[in-house]
């Protein structure tokens, strides 16, 4: 698999490419299946439909890897929290975690068992996916998941969970500990079910100052990484902490690939981390609105990376109103242009 070879630093005939949120609303085929499912969570829980939308971008766009269709918040939901997706608001936990009693009601073991529909999605998808295409599993990082559990949904200020960082750090660590324990077992089950690599998304990493992020964020990512490497040493691990361009020199761990968001200059990431890790990313997602902008972005990134130690991706998820033809153009452009660097 070209994607797995690239994760491991092996020579590849071109730079493999996939996109975060590639199974998503920009595809009419996805919207049809989602409508059939009834709502987003029902789609996540229907393993046959979830597998269908996981495979769509491979068939339609020609990406080099499929990423499991699911959501990072199914973990706290299956730990015992009520989760709703509200139109215009996104995910909402009506009863956020506020006390130790709230936390004690949640079960990591129950979550891992209850997420069987995810493992069924993986098994069916791996069975249907071409043998030369990789299947990526994923989870949210403990810090990002905890922010939703504490705030009750999306937030721009993080004031409740950030207050906890300084006002009640022991309680925050207790929440992170329970979430981390669930995520270790969850990703282990994904690997056993057939994923070829896993990615840990820390979407809200940039909400914390460096010392706080290292304590409450990255240390827990590294704990998950170390657990997986001890048990599945051959499975590549990608970490994607968004918005930490100022912390790059402090990043270290036993993972294989570091995902670079679009706001981080790729040359800076290469200088700080390129010798230690394969880099993934980091084209600005809105470049996909214009084909000239796509060409310019692809050329710039390839010139920085030289077609080596790199996996091509957007610097965050593809947006819902991107034309499908532009997404196809982007994938083909990367594959064709990067092949010239591989010679």
The answer to whether residue 32 is catalytic is: no
What's the full length of the chain, in residues? 343
Paired strand residues for 202: 241
The answer to whether residue 105 is catalytic is: no
21 is in an annotated binding site: yes
Nearby residues of 261 by Cβ (< 8 Å), 6 or more positions away: 240, 242, 243, 245, 281, 282, 315, 316
- Rounded Cα gap, residues 9 and 16, in angstroms: 12
23 is in an annotated binding site: yes
329 is in an annotated binding site: no
**276 and 307 in contact (C-beta within 8 Å)?**
no
117 is in an annotated binding site: no
The answer to whether residue 25 is catalytic is: yes
Map residue 206 onto helix, strand or coil. helix
25 is in an annotated binding site: yes
If one counts the domains in the chain, the total is 1
Give the residue numbers spanning the domain of 156: 2-342
pLDDT of residue 207: 97
DSSP state for residue 248 in the 8-state scheme: G
Beta strands in 141-236 (DSSP E): 197-202
**333 and 302 in contact (C-beta within 8 Å)?**
no
The answer to whether residue 21 is catalytic is: yes
Nearest to 154 by CA among 218, 207, 214: 207
| Annotated catalytic residue, options 5, 71, 102, 295 | 71
pTM, 2 dp = 0.97
In the predicted model, residues of the chain with pLDDT beneath 50 are: none
| Annotated catalytic residue, options 26, 30, 47, 148 | 148
- Rounded Cα gap, residues 185 and 197, in angstroms: 15
| Annotated catalytic residue, options 30, 34, 47, 126 | 34
Task: Find the CATH number of the domain harbouring 325.
Answer: 3.20.20.210
Nearby residues of 115 by Cβ (< 8 Å), 6 or more positions away: 74, 75, 78, 186, 189
pLDDT of residue 336: 97
The answer to whether residue 71 is catalytic is: yes
- Rounded Cα gap, residues 184 and 227, in angstroms: 7
309 is in an annotated binding site: no
- Rounded Cα gap, residues 81 and 101, in angstroms: 13
- Rounded Cα gap, residues 18 and 212, in angstroms: 32
pLDDT of residue 254: 98
148 is in an annotated binding site: yes
Cα angle for residues 238, 326, 236 (degrees, 5° grid): 10
Nearest to 23 by CA among 1, 43, 2: 43
Residue 202's φ and ψ, nearest 5 degrees, are -115, 80
């Amino acid at each position: 698999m070209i994607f797995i070879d690239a994760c491991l630093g092996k020579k590849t005939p071109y730079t493999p490419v996939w996109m975060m949120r590639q199974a998503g609303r920009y595809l009419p085929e996805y919207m049809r299946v989602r409508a059939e499912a009834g709502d987003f969570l029902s789609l996540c829980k229907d393993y046959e439909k979830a597998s269908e939308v996981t495979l769509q971008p491979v068939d339609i766009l020609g990406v080099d890897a499929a990423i499991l269709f699911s959501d990072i918040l199914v973990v706290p939901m299956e730990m015992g929290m009520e989760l709703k997706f509200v139109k215009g608001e996104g995910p909402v936990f009506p009863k956020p975690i506020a006390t130790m009693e709230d936390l004690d009601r949640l079960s990591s073991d129950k979550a891992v068992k209850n997420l069987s529909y995810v493992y069924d999605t993986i098994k069916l998808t791996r069975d249907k996916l071409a043998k030369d295409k990789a299947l990526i599993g994923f989870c949210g990082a403990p810090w990002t998941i905890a922010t939703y559990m504490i705030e009750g949904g999306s937030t721009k200020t993080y004031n409740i969970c950030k207050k906890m960082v300084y006002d009640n750090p022991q309680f925050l660590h207790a929440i992170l500990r329970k979430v981390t324990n669930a995520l270790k077992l969850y990703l282990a089950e994904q690997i056993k079910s057939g994923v070829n690599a896993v990615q840990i998304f820390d979407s809200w990493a940039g909400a914390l100052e460096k010392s706080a992020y290292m304590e409450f964020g990255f240390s827990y990512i590294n704990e998950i990484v170390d657990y997986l490497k001890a048990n599945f040493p051959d499975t590549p691990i990608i970490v994607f902490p968004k918005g930490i361009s100022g912390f790059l020199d402090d990043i270290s761990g036993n993972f294989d690939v570091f995902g670079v968001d679009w706001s981080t200059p790729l040359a800076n990431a290469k200088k700080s981390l390129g010798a230690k890790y394969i880099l993934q990313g980091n084209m600005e997602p809105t470049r996909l609105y214009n084909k000239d902008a796509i060409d310019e972005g692809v050329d710039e990134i390839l010139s920085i990376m030289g077609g080596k130690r790199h996996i091509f991706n957007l610097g965050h998820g593809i947006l819902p109103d991107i034309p499908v033809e532009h997404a196809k153009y982007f994938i083909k452009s990367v594959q064709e242009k990067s092949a010239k660097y591989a010679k």
